[in-house]
Structure 1
Amino acid sequence: MKKTLVLGASENPARYSFEAVTRLRKHGHEVVAVGRKAAVVAGVQIETEPPVINDIDTVTLYLNPTAQKAYYDFILSLHPKRIIFNPGTENEELEELAQQNGIAAIEACTLVMLNTGQY
């Protein structure tokens, strides 16, 4: 299973990030969540500050490119295998930084990847 950071997590069931946390857990993945408001979704505590974490396989983004800038150093310091840029989060600058650091940058939808077995 792939330990995943959901960046931009929300307790709002209408948000795709909420659905991502829920479905990742249903598929057996360990999830770390960071968002604006502390809450619990599918048994996962949403942190409001970047936590100290190890062994992150995947970072899946649910933040617009402007909001992502504050997290560049944090994301890169995790040395994930890949970053998934969900629709609306595409960011050429962060994609280039990821590739320069040996991290795969994927423009895709986490929910579709889970549903099709491509996660």
Structure 2
Amino acid sequence: MNKKTAILGATPNPARYAYLAAERLKSKNHEIVPIGIKKGEVFGAEILDLKEKPHVDEIDTITMYIGPQNQGEWEDYIISLNPKRIIFNPGSENPTFAKKASDNGIETINACTLVMLGSGLY
């Protein structure tokens, strides 16, 4: 089943995990919506400017590649996207934000998107 996934912290840099996640998600036929502060595109999808807080409909999953120290100003925006779940990848875990998301009916998972995809748990 295709899960429309917003990649928060998206980057065109192939050395970054957010880029690898975009590649793996596309290879598994998930629609990606890259959102970040870096300009460019990943796998045919333009990176939307996080600073503009772009509205995106019907997000199933947000996969987080922004460290907790940089998440605060985006929390309300992320919740406003109304995803079914947020995956906090290693280094992005944020118990305070996870509780806030959970209080808004959003499932939160501390896990690695790449591992989840590789093991069929996505």
Which TM-score band (shorter chain)?
over 0.9
Residue of structure 2 equivalent to 1:67: 70
Q: How far off is 1:71 after superposition?
A: 1.0
Q: Distance in 1 between matches of 2:62 and 2:72?
A: 14
Whether 1:107 aligns to 2:116 is no
Residue of structure 1 equivalent to 2:94: 91
Residue of structure 1 equivalent to 2:83: 80
**Percent of aligned pairs sharing the same letter:** 50
Please state whether the residue corresponding to 1:11 is helix, strand or coil. coil
Q: How far off is 1:79 after superposition?
A: 1.2
RMSD, matched Cα? 0.8
Correspondence list, 1:22-33, <5 A: 22-33=23-34
Please state whether the residue corresponding to 2:47 is helix, strand or coil. strand
Q: Distance in 2 between matches of 1:76 and 1:52?
A: 11
Structure 1's unaligned 5+ residue stretches are none
Residue of structure 2 equivalent to 1:35: 36
Q: How far off is 1:113 after superposition?
A: 0.4
Q: How far off is 1:101 after superposition?
A: 0.6
Residue of structure 2 equivalent to 1:2: 3
> Could you tell me which amino acid in structure 2 is paired with residue 10 of structure 1?
T
Please state whether the residue corresponding to 2:108 is helix, strand or coil. strand
Q: How far off is 1:30 after superposition?
A: 0.7
The correspondence for 1:116, drawn from 92, 115, 119, is 119
Q: Which runs of 4+ in 1 moved over 2 A?
A: none
Q: Distance in 2 between matches of 1:23 and 1:42?
A: 10
